[in-house]
Structure 1
């Protein structure tokens, strides 16, 4: 099911974003009088093709879905009827050619705004940024935050959900700043200062997912007090040997009571191969059970497992529900939020590219089609609002990537046009050929890196 969702999500994502990108080129070219010959989604052999309209424009779907193209009448590609030469792309003015090339990325920017606008109207889901138990050496603890604090703003920017907090901290870490935090504690707001200087905002290691900025500042999410109820006992497990049964609640380990199932799991995990005394509660009362967690390797580490599946049963359901937020916005407010989100993500993406270019960020942070498919599947599973936000982010990223001055990309063509404007004439054919070869090599190397990162993460 996960694989199917990933495939469906990937095809939807690439199909929508590439179609709109190429339609930007297509629409502007036709409006400016350039004849379009082919509108293609995907490359390679056509799996679907048809011709429509008085000019018999070919609409096709290629076998390989990683991109698309719009083919226009051009004398550099073959003979052109003298009566049609004025409609050839190469005959157009510099402004017209630049407008057609820039239209693709512009279409993706517009599409990102539309998706974010729809997302905010449909309703965004999030988690309240309420702090749980913090490690004493963490940056948040050093800033003075305590369990139960709710982070309301970072550097003056309002924070509603964990996603907002993550984005604000990323921006602060990239700028290597000490940022003020507005924190709500016991119903009153106070200002604290968080030091993000010297913190790698992205982290990243070949073969592993980049580390979350929230983990690197030591953020721990507050959890409503809950019982750890045994939902299932695995056969031939230490728990079954000790007589534990589904429905019982584990309330204490070695004399210490727990109201946090996750902390309880960590405590058991730290006792691999050592007998532990569990206090178990049922309708018949409490009893003590001795269990020896079995040493199990998880993500390269040996931890203790007793062979049960736990369910968290909140002691106060209302407190647990208060951690989950759903926000809806009207059309005007949603557009304002979409513009803010677009600007924030643009500046963040450009900052990340800059750090990659100067070597301050690892290439492990680059992801490719496999990662896109994985996240597309996950966002589909989480609902329409999440998928719209994912489409918006990828659409904006596609626009920015295409505007980079790399040969073969739209930005590479715009760079050639800028040189032409300065030079007063087109660049030579030899230069353009070398430029194209460099672009093919650069894109080839980029694809090797992102595919390697994707596969290495999956293998890990």
Structure 2
């Protein structure tokens, strides 16, 4: 069932993005007066088709589900001998260079517009996410040295307001690529007699973050993590080590072996790391302090050994539903799409110079896996995933590689500058080179997918 759901989520995501991309080409081609012969979802042999409209455009589904294309009346591909003057006027190569550029650019542009609209819709609806509140910061970390201690609520990054945890991570990721520093506006409780909250600005240096750190938990390397609830026990399982030791529902755990426990996650980590080891636990129950000993049971799952005391510990962070007005949502969606596009290009650049691993290139297997995972989480996660993939598709198609839209735009840009088209012979050679580059990238992506699947 999970496999079928993953395949369905992948087909819906990729199919919709291909259709949107090709509709961009198709719509602008029609606006420019170019005759469209075929609109195909998929590549290779056609398995189903129907003709519609005054031009009898063939709408087709092809056997290979990856990609699609719009076939226009083009003298380079069809014999136009004996064709009527009206049809010749609608042939692609007879259009002005600006019209040809508009038709080619319309595909990636459609992907960017889709991403903007998806993000805007999500912002209008409201996105339930953790608040950007920080967990206790470990000493000897960059965050601690900058002055963060934990419990702070980050309200802005470099003067730009944020509401949710993913915004904090996103802006720090962008700043880390520049290897500079960021200013965090934070709000933390006032421990003085007057109470309330204090406002502060913390300068967090990011020059210690290496490009390869961005591939993993770079926030953890800085000492930044999401705040978790205090270590208040939920349901204590019958006949487990916790109940036998005397722990009860609602107990607040404050110390383990004399070391303060900052939150529920710290308690879980300590217990898991202590199979068959006696732990002295101190806490508070009904306003009264207590202390007792508990020995976690040893558990082994898939070769991993860990301790277990059979008690539920709530770990859900503080959540907020961040929503915006339609106009603000559209602005935020546009900004998000732009920032994502720039970040993708920067990461590609760092791959080319060897600063970021080529292991980050993913293929259809990984994309299908993520599609299934996000679909199972919910509509918001799935639509966000589609928006990011749409951005990636738009950016990749704009790369100046022959056979891609970006390669054609490069040809037409040369034509604008020189006043004459790129020589056909040069175009043919570049086309072969472009196919070679694409096949190499596909091979790397498939290899990475297989490695992830196996290991």
The TM-score normalised by the length of structure 1 is: 0.86
Q: Secondary structure, in 3 states, of the residue corresponding to 1:125? A: strand
Which residues of structure 2 form unaligned runs of 5+? 190-196
C-alpha contact 1:173 1:197 (8 A) present in aligned 2:
yes
Question: Is residue 111 of structure 1 aligned with residue 114 of structure 2?
Answer: yes
Count how many residue pairs are aligned between Structure 1 and Structure 2.
441
Aligned with residue 295 of structure 2, among 273, 288, 291 = 291
> Aligned Cα RMSD in Å?
3.1
Question: Is residue 199 of structure 1 aligned with residue 194 of structure 2?
Answer: no
Q: Secondary structure, in 3 states, of the residue corresponding to 2:328? A: helix
User: In the aligned structure 1, how far is the partner of 2:411 from the partner of 2:300?
Assistant: 58
C-alpha contact 1:122 1:385 (8 A) present in aligned 2:
no
Question: Is residue 227 of structure 1 aligned with residue 228 of structure 2?
Answer: no
C-alpha contact 1:138 1:217 (8 A) present in aligned 2:
yes
User: In the aligned structure 1, how far is the partner of 2:55 from the partner of 2:173?
Assistant: 50
User: In the aligned structure 1, how far is the partner of 2:271 from the partner of 2:49?
Assistant: 60
Q: CA deviation at 1:418?
A: 1.9
Which residues of structure 1 form unaligned runs of 5+? 205-209, 315-319
Q: Secondary structure, in 3 states, of the residue corresponding to 2:313? A: strand
The residue aligned with 1:8 is: 8
User: In the aligned structure 2, how far is the partner of 1:389 from the partner of 1:306?
Assistant: 36
1:268-288 deviation per Cα after TM superposition (whole angstroms, max 9, x unaligned): 2322454446789999xx995
- With over 3 angstroms needed to count, the CA separation of the structure-2 counterparts of 1:245 and 1:70, relative to structure 1, is farther
Q: Secondary structure, in 3 states, of the residue corresponding to 1:203? A: helix
Question: Is residue 435 of structure 1 aligned with residue 430 of structure 2?
Answer: yes
User: In the aligned structure 2, how far is the partner of 1:281 from the partner of 1:59?
Assistant: 70
Question: Is residue 149 of structure 1 aligned with residue 159 of structure 2?
Answer: no
Question: Is residue 33 of structure 1 aligned with residue 43 of structure 2?
Answer: no
C-alpha contact 1:148 1:185 (8 A) present in aligned 2:
yes
Q: Secondary structure, in 3 states, of the residue corresponding to 2:225? A: coil
Q: CA deviation at 1:128?
A: 0.8
C-alpha contact 2:41 2:62 (8 A) present in aligned 1:
yes
1:120-148 deviation per Cα after TM superposition (whole angstroms, max 9, x unaligned): 11111211111112221222111110121
Q: CA deviation at 1:351?
A: 2.0
Q: CA deviation at 1:173?
A: 0.6
User: In the aligned structure 1, how far is the partner of 2:301 from the partner of 2:140?
Assistant: 27
**Superposed, which structure 2 residues align to 1:199-278 within 5 Å?**
199-201=209-211, 203=213, 210-229=215-234, 251=253, 253-254=256-257, 260-276=263-279
Q: Secondary structure, in 3 states, of the residue corresponding to 2:51? A: strand
User: In the aligned structure 1, how far is the partner of 2:66 from the partner of 2:237?
Assistant: 44
Q: CA deviation at 1:231?
A: 6.3
Bigger drift between 265-274 and 405-414 goes to 265-274
Question: Is residue 368 of structure 1 aligned with residue 363 of structure 2?
Answer: yes
- With over 3 angstroms needed to count, the CA separation of the structure-2 counterparts of 1:144 and 1:254, relative to structure 1, is closer
C-alpha contact 1:242 1:291 (8 A) present in aligned 2:
no
Aligned with residue 165 of structure 1, among 163, 168, 179 = 168
**Superposed, which structure 2 residues align to 1:307-326 within 5 Å?**
308=310, 310-313=311-314, 323-326=318-321
User: In the aligned structure 2, how far is the partner of 1:264 from the partner of 1:158?
Assistant: 33
Q: CA deviation at 1:73?
A: 1.3
**Superposed, which structure 2 residues align to 1:87-126 within 5 Å?**
87-126=90-129
Aligned with residue 128 of structure 1, among 128, 131, 137 = 131
User: In the aligned structure 2, how far is the partner of 1:297 from the partner of 1:140?
Assistant: 34
Larger RCO, structures 1/2 (Cα 8 Å, 6+ apart): 1
User: In the aligned structure 1, how far is the partner of 2:172 from the partner of 2:321?
Assistant: 22
Question: Is residue 327 of structure 1 aligned with residue 331 of structure 2?
Answer: no
C-alpha contact 2:155 2:187 (8 A) present in aligned 1:
yes
Q: CA deviation at 1:349?
A: 2.1
C-alpha contact 1:271 1:303 (8 A) present in aligned 2:
no
C-alpha contact 2:233 2:314 (8 A) present in aligned 1:
yes
Q: Secondary structure, in 3 states, of the residue corresponding to 2:356? A: coil
C-alpha contact 1:272 1:304 (8 A) present in aligned 2:
yes
Q: CA deviation at 1:2?
A: 3.7
Q: CA deviation at 1:188?
A: 1.5
C-alpha contact 1:242 1:290 (8 A) present in aligned 2:
no
User: In the aligned structure 2, how far is the partner of 1:174 from the partner of 1:139?
Assistant: 17
The TM-score normalised by the length of structure 2 is: 0.87
Bigger drift between 392-401 and 223-232 goes to 223-232
Q: Secondary structure, in 3 states, of the residue corresponding to 2:129? A: strand
Q: CA deviation at 1:246?
A: 11
Q: CA deviation at 1:82?
A: 2.4
User: In the aligned structure 1, how far is the partner of 2:77 from the partner of 2:60?
Assistant: 19
**Superposed, which structure 2 residues align to 1:68-87 within 5 Å?**
68-80=68-80, 81-83=82-84, 84-87=87-90
User: In the aligned structure 2, how far is the partner of 1:233 from the partner of 1:441?
Assistant: 63
The residue aligned with 2:193 is: none
1:20-74 deviation per Cα after TM superposition (whole angstroms, max 9, x unaligned): 1101111111121211111011112333221112322111112222211001112
The residue aligned with 1:347 is: 342
Q: Secondary structure, in 3 states, of the residue corresponding to 1:77? A: coil
Q: Secondary structure, in 3 states, of the residue corresponding to 1:42? A: strand
Bigger drift between 366-375 and 129-138 goes to 366-375
- With over 3 angstroms needed to count, the CA separation of the structure-2 counterparts of 1:258 and 1:146, relative to structure 1, is closer
- With over 3 angstroms needed to count, the CA separation of the structure-2 counterparts of 1:165 and 1:39, relative to structure 1, is same
Question: Is residue 306 of structure 1 aligned with residue 316 of structure 2?
Answer: no
